[in-house]
Amino acid sequence: MATVQRLLMAGMLLLTASACAPTTGQPNRPVEVQLEVDTSAVAYHPTQAGIIRTYTTEQGGSEIHQEHLGRTIRSGVPYQVVRTRGGGRDTRSYHRHTTAGVFKAIETTPNYEATYEPPMQMLPGTLRVGQTWQGSSKVTFTRQGQPPQRVEVHYKSRVTDQRQASISGQNYNFFVVQTEGFDENGEPVARQERWYVPHLGDVKTTDGLLLVASNLAGTP
């Protein structure tokens, strides 16, 4: 596989997708959002519009805000949309939520759009240590005025552990989820790890950001 394709594949797997365009301003102080459980899909994954999680690196620096925009329809298909902005990022991720898990279908920034066919599974229907899943997604990466680039992402994920730790002065009980990506020859090209708290979300993201604040009330 050509180097540019391997880099593209690794970027699509790691799901960091940071836009290079700067963002202006930060969200106002978020209104508290009460936890609601959707039993028709992945009950442990929050989806309410208005949820905002704020992240930063271990060294501090710019805050990254992850906001749930709620449900939308594209081409007749319902998605849950999450916007990530701050620190030079402005990304919208379109997810499908079913009883089988959380699946990433589309990602957009001011500079490009990436579509995953079939959608890439981010989380399973139930969280437990030892849970595994795998799949392949053909990713089409389009940028205005340029021909689309396509790459196939092969991935395997596993819930490796359940731990407790203090992050930004708050104690959390979280699941460790690891994902590896491979090229068509089975050679590894990327590896990621996230720390996930049911009914809250990531307390450590795949690109190493740590949760410092959330307006989601009623979490365990």
Domain ranges for the chain, please list them.
Answer: 3-17+39-197
For residue 215, give the DSSP letter. -
Cα torsion 123, 139, 211, 79: sign: negative
What does the buried/exposed string (b/e) look like for 109-129 if buried means 16 or more CB atoms within 10 Å of the residue's CB?
A: beebbbbbeebbbbbbbebee
| pLDDT one digit per residue (tens) for the chain, 220 residues | 444 455 455 555 554 433 333 334 445 555 555 445 555 557 788 888 999 999 998 887 889 999 999 999 999 999 999 999 998 889 999 999 999 999 999 999 999 999 999 999 999 999 999 999 999 999 999 998 899 999 888 999 999 999 999 998 899 999 999 999 998 788 888 899 999 999 999 999 998 999 999 998 765 4
pTM of the model: 0.83
